[in-house]
Amino acid sequence: MDNSMLKKFAAKQRQLLLTDNDEPSAYFGFMRLCAMAYADKTALDELCSAPSERPCALFMEKCRQLGERYGGIFSLYSELPVPPTLLAVGGTAGALRGLPQEIWDEADILGRFHQYFNEPYRSEIAVGLKCSKRLSSDKIAAATQLFTPEWVVKYMVQNTLGRYLREHGFDINRGELEFCNVKAEKGTVEPEDITFIDPCMGSGNVLLCAFDMFMELYRSLGYSDDIAAEKILRHNLYGLELDERACAVAETALRLKAAKYGAFAKPQVYDFSGISYMAGSLLSGDELDGSSAKTARIAYLLKKNYTIIVTNPPYLGKPAMNVELSGFVQDRFADYSADLFSVFIARCMDMIEENGYLGFLTPTTWLFLQSYEKLRRRIYRECSLQTMIHFEYSAFDDATVPLCSFTMQQGYSSENGIYLRLTDFKGGMDCQLQKVKEALNVEKCSYRFEASAEDFLHIPSAPVAYWLGKAMFRAFDNVTLGELVPVREGIITGDNDRFLRRWFEVSAEKTAFTGNQNKKWYMLNKGGDYRKWYGNREFVINWENDGEEIKSFRDENGKLRSRPQGLAYNFHPSVSWSQITSGALSVRYFNENFMFNVAGTSAFPHDERQLILLLGLLNSKAAAEFARVLNPTMNMNPGDLARLPIPEFPQDTAEYEKLIKENIHICREDWDSFETSYDFRRHPLI
């Protein structure tokens, strides 16, 4: 069934059930009914055909019976009342009965119902996050749960657990999303010694996928299905989760799957209720006192190392963390504290066995931004990035950030990893899956790349710029723009509406159009729209008496609001770019008549020849590509372009200089052909 239809169904039932019930009763009533239908396909028919006075009693009795066998969602808060709307004529049971029967054949259906029933609440919290609200501890789990699509789970499991098993000589099939056909070159291991954990398991869909692969393993070794399933639950699979509801769904889903093979052991999945309401799997285990069997077991699992770790960690930026969570993260994971997902990557690296495998679905921010540089360098130092899928920005309907999924092995290696760059393929996750399959089934693919950590270390801050060629990686060994010439950020007035005007809004007699004259208004480079070579010369700044008013501009408490920086570089020829841009890098020439502010970040060459050549170089396609690597966001800060590699200029550059000057002249004529230019004389069409 289409996810959007299932989401609408769950949202409608949530609204219906909440009309005359509290939220816990509505949630558990809905999820128990779904789990009952999944466990017994005749249950809905039986409930809907029961006499009007019996459905509630029948439902409660069935929940009791199923709770004895499958626990989890049937047992947690079993004392809650049954919502009347759940079993009423025209209620949830009848609506659920009308859904396509094939949905009950999908192993992750309970997790999807859990996610979609809670989606309106998660969306409500997300609105608060967009308004820069800090997240209270009781909302962390709900706000950060994101259901992982089934095929992405398969990709992660096949390229971690699947790869490990085949490397160790086990006779299992290569998965359709497994990137490499590895050879059996590692020593043998006992199947019971292979441990797999999802420390942020949510509703358990990663564990359900791993269960299937372990079943294939045990069957290949001659075990019967019931013994194999029993061993998987007792020895191989582990899960930890902050949210007790999601954990209950995971437990029931795993027990239902195992029961199909004749096994009824309790899965090794635990929530942190009564133990930790905030940190969860980030705890080391040493903090737990072992006051209960559950606490002692979780402490043991937190201290243990695992063969395979696969997870979709929570995404929560530092500004949205509450004071307690932020303090915890800063105290224990300061180098990785930019986001909760990066903290979890670091924690998982602490938990992995030697030569073990890790798989993640995370935002792409860690690939490029400087705030994640220490995480990247730790990964390069301690692990080997082996595969990655870089998704299109809006491919995930439920995510508000661009995502990537990747796998890596513990232990440094200089071997190339395989990267699929799907950023240009719109069409949702179905399109992304199709492109992955195409890339894995053709010998040459334009969006399939290979690169190693050694390549990334050539680049300042070491971003995962896997799509660059070897020549571009080597280019970063050259001198940088910041080493060659001063790169500076200009003045911050503290109130642009007060101190800035467009040149035609003020008296020409009080404006210094040329040179540093004794006037009130001076020409200002203020960045602006995408434009190369020449232009964006619209603003003037109140710099009367050497900027006396701006330099002394303070708030009501006496704190200086302005920041008069870069003043020594005012009225010097420069090449400049806008600090905020939605397009590619565009660089413009400014002469000695201009001041510059923070939005018009500038570089100041030492002579005219250097200025002309740098202007041409920075407007090239190569420079634009390098700039995207150094900072893929909309904010091009001075430090970003200061790290741009600059080749040594040849001795004879006369032809280059001529072409660059022609470009400046053409763009100047274009700029001056409109009345917004102070050099306007006549429109070209007149």
Residue 252 φ then ψ, to 5°: -65, -45
Q: Which of 72, 608, 629, 152 is nearest to 360 (CA)?
A: 152
Per the prediction, the chain carries an average pLDDT of 91
Q: Residue 523: CB partners within 8 Å, gap ≥ 6?
A: 503, 511, 512, 513, 537, 539, 540, 593, 594, 595
Tens of pLDDT along 13-68? Answer: 999 999 989 999 999 999 999 999 999 989 998 888 877 667 889 999 999 999 99
Residue 338 φ then ψ, to 5°: -65, -30
| Residue 678 within a domain | no
Domain end, chosen from 422, 442, 475, is at 475
Rounded CA gap, 645 and 631, in Å? 14
Find the angle CA(426)-CA(432)-CA(437) to the nearest 5 degrees. 140
Residues 578 and 444 in one domain: no
Is the per-residue pLDDT at 350 higher than 90? yes
Q: Which position has the higher pLDDT, 586 or 134?
A: 586
Domain end, chosen from 460, 475, 490, is at 475
Tens of pLDDT along 152-175? Answer: 999 999 999 999 999 999 999 899
| Residue 610 within a domain | yes
Confidence tier at 259 by pLDDT (50, 70, 90)? very high
**How many Cβ atoms sit within 10 Å of the Cβ of residue 570?**
22
| Residue 399 within a domain | yes
- Predicted confidence at residue 143, as pLDDT, reads 62
- Predicted confidence at residue 258, as pLDDT, reads 97
Q: How many CA atoms lie within 13 A of 21 on its CB side?
A: 21
Is the per-residue pLDDT at 633 higher than 80? no
Residues 228 and 250 in one domain: yes
Residue 222 φ then ψ, to 5°: 95, 10
| Residue 680 within a domain | no
Residues 118 and 142 in one domain: no
Residues 338 and 424 in one domain: yes
- Predicted confidence at residue 515, as pLDDT, reads 72
| Residue 603 within a domain | yes
Residues 460 and 516 in one domain: no
Q: In which residue are the tokens 């909440």 written?
A: 18
Rounded CA gap, 686 and 683, in Å? 6
Domain end, chosen from 421, 440, 475, is at 475
Q: How many domains, in total, are found in the chain?
A: 3
Residues 446 and 538 in one domain: no
What's the longest Cα–Cα distance across the chain? 96
- Predicted confidence at residue 126, as pLDDT, reads 58
- Predicted confidence at residue 686, as pLDDT, reads 73
Residues 560 and 657 in one domain: yes
677 DSSP β-pair partners: none
- Predicted confidence at residue 580, as pLDDT, reads 81
Tens of pLDDT along 191-224? Answer: 999 999 999 999 999 999 999 999 999 999 999 9
Tens of pLDDT along 92-132? Answer: 999 999 999 899 989 899 999 999 998 877 766 555 555 55
- Predicted confidence at residue 144, as pLDDT, reads 67
Q: Which position has the higher pLDDT, 66 or 289?
A: 66
CA-to-CA dists, residue 551 to 490, 496, 520, 546, 547, angstroms: 13, 13, 14, 9, 6
- Predicted confidence at residue 10, as pLDDT, reads 93
| Residue 540 within a domain | yes
| Residue 394 within a domain | yes
Is the per-residue pLDDT at 683 higher than 80? no
- The CATH number assigned to the domain holding 564 equals 3.90.220
CA-to-CA dists, residue 239 to 165, 301, 430, 554, 557, angstroms: 20, 9, 28, 55, 53
- The CATH number assigned to the domain holding 280 equals 3.40.50.150
Rounded CA gap, 242 and 228, in Å? 29
Q: Which position has the higher pLDDT, 396 or 268?
A: 268
Q: Do residues 537 and 527 touch, judged by C-beta distance below 8 A? A: no
Mean pLDDT (whole number) for 539-562: 94
Q: Which of 196, 203, 238 is nearest to 217 (CA)?
A: 196
| Residue 144 within a domain | yes
Provide the residue range defining the domain that includes 547. 482-672
Residues 359 and 496 in one domain: no
Q: How many CA atoms lie within 13 A of 172 on its CB side?
A: 27
Q: Which of 369, 391, 228, 380 is nearest to 312 (CA)?
A: 391
Residues 102 and 142 in one domain: no
Residues 212 and 158 in one domain: yes
Residues 181 and 253 in one domain: yes
Residues 122 and 157 in one domain: no
